[in-house]
Amino acid sequence: MKEPPNQRKRQTADSLSEIMNIDRLVHSPARLSILTYLFVVEEGDAVYLLNHTGLTWGNLSANVTRLQEAGYIEVVKEFKDKKPHTVLKLTDRGRHAFHEYQNTMKGLLNTKSLSSVSGGE
């Protein structure tokens, strides 16, 4: 059975209003990149993140601090061969936040919502 046009418009508006609830801490490209590369491993050091995210030391440090303050990542500073070594790990909270973000974005960007906005369906 075909949905009435008003109901469809309301559903689209509801799904798009979710964008206002999106986790902005995760949404930033630099932090999203950091979280993505920490999500696919158990833990990684700063050099690993620098290589894969393409961020500078300063930028990485600033964004890591924000994610650490939010409790999304755990930072362990240690010495390895008498050199400072920073190990980063996604916390359960961070993993959950990243997962939530993924689901929200998936919902927002799915073809049905977009095509109904553009009147394609």
* Binding residues vs another protein (CB under 8 A): 36-37, 39-52, 57, 83-85, 87, 102, 105-106
CB of 12 to another protein, least distance (A): 22
- The CB-of-1 to another protein minimum distance in angstroms stands at 30
CB environment 58-97: b (16+ within 10 A), e (fewer): eebeebbeebeebebbbeeeeeeeeeeebebebbeebbeb
Beta carbon nearer to another protein, 10 or 56: 56
Do residues 39 and 121 lie in contact, with contact meaning Cβ atoms separated by under 8 Å? Answer: no
Which residue lies nearer to another protein by CB, 22 or 37? 37
Q: Between 70 and 87, name the residue whose CB sits nearer to another protein.
A: 87
